[in-house]
């Protein structure tokens, strides 16, 4: 995951890096034994799209 952060061209503060790591940690935690993977994917898809929009706008 830190490799992905190094590919992004704009500078990150330590606070923003820690928030991104926390984001992916919670995302990984939510993927462990969900009731239905398709429903989980649909719920997470909106969050991932928002994350990508955040990265492109920033």
Q: pLDDT digits over 7-24, tens only?
A: 555 566 777 888 888 988
Residue from 26, 30, 57, 54 nearest 42 by CA: 30
Helix (H) or strand (E) holding 12: none
Expressed in angstroms, the distance from the first to the final Cα of the chain is 19
Give the contacts of 30 (CB within 8 A, at least 6 positions apart).
Answer: 40, 44
Half-sphere exposure of 52 (CA within 13 A, CB side): 6
pLDDT the model gives residue 10: 56
- Find the mean pLDDT for residues 29-47: 91
């Amino acid at each position: 995951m830190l490799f992905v952060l190094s590919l992004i061209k704009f500078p990150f503060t330590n606070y923003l890096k820690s928030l991104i790591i926390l984001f992916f940690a919670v995302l990984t935690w939510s993927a462990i034994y969900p009731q239905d993977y398709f429903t989980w994917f649909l719920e997470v898809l909106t969050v991932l799209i928002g994350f990508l929009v955040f990265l492109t706008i920033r």
